[in-house]
């Protein structure tokens, strides 16, 4: 059975993606690597939800370190970018690179990400970055397909999961507070 390391951005997005990968016949483990999430309490809350989702779906979850200062050094100077701009590309790349490295260390055949289930994220951008980072080790899956997001929300409601209302970083949080951003 081929092994996939799944980058999990949050518990809500994880449930459908885990089930879909299993349905496609993969052995799945998750990794929670999201130093973009602000503030720390929110990071811990999303991580807790991801752990719960991993456990009810019977998969192991690796937790990486929360190095938010490194994330800020890389992405912070693009604080004025709109969601989907250069800041987000750098944010995807940082996270996907870490997941790619972990997939090599752990001898996984592939890595992929729950990010593609979000209707607010452009999959062609994510695919391009992931392939640049990890080449053929990146498993190209569009989790939005076949009503993926609708199924994700249905599963989240069924399990009463915590659902955040912003993407993750302090800049996306501010746009929600101002009423100009995308709810996650």
| Nearer Cβ to ligand SF4 (36/123) | 36
Q: Burial level of 170, CB count in 10 A (0-12/13-18/19+)?
A: middle
| Nearer Cβ to ligand SF4 (57/118) | 118
| Nearer Cβ to ligand SF4 (88/133) | 88
Rounded Cα distance between 42 and 40, Å, is 5
What is the distance, to the nearest Å, from the Cα of residue 29 to the centroid of all Cα atoms in its chain?
Answer: 14
Q: What is the DSSP letter of 3?
A: E
Smallest distance, Å, CB 33 to ligand SF4? Answer: 12
DSSP string, 82-128: PTTSHHHHHHHHHHHHHHHHHHHHTT-SEEEEGGGG-TTS-HHHHHH
| Nearer Cβ to ligand SF4 (66/171) | 171
Q: What is the DSSP letter of 30?
A: E
User: Strand, helix or coil at 72?
Assistant: helix
What values do phi and psi take at 109, rounded to 5? Answer: -75, -35
Smallest distance, Å, CB 55 to ligand SF4? Answer: 25
CB-CB contact of 53 with 161 (8 Å): yes
Smallest distance, Å, CB 181 to ligand SF4? Answer: 8
Smallest distance, Å, CB 170 to ligand SF4? Answer: 8
| Nearer Cβ to ligand SF4 (18/167) | 167
Smallest distance, Å, CB 104 to ligand SF4? Answer: 23
Smallest distance, Å, CB 27 to ligand SF4? Answer: 28
Residues near ligand SF4 (CB under 6 A): 36, 75, 83, 87-88, 91, 167-169, 171-172
| Nearer Cβ to ligand SF4 (27/162) | 162
């Amino acid at each position: 059975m081929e092994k996939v390391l799944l980058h999990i951005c949050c518990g809500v997005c994880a449930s459908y993606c885990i089930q879909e990968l299993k349905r496609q016949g993969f052995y799945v483990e998750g990794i929670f690597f999201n130093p973009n999430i602000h503030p720390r309490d929110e990071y811990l809350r999303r991580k807790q939800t991801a752990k719960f989702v991993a456990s009810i779906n019977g998969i192991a979850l690796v937790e990486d370190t929360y190095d938010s200062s490194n994330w800020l050094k890389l992405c912070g100077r693009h604080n004025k970018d709109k969601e989907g701009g250069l800041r987000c590309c750098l944010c995807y790349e940082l996270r996907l690179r870490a997941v790619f490295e972990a997939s090599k260390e752990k001898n996984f055949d592939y890595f992929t990400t729950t990010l593609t289930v979000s209707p607010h994220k452009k999959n062609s951008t994510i695919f391009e970055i992931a392939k640049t980072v990890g080449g053929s080790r990146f498993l190209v899956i569009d989790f939005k397909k076949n009503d993926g997001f609708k199924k994700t929300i249905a599963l989240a409601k069924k399990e009463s999961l915590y659902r955040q209302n912003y993407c993750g970083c302090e800049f996306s949080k501010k746009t929600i507070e101002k009423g100009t951003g995308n709810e996650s």
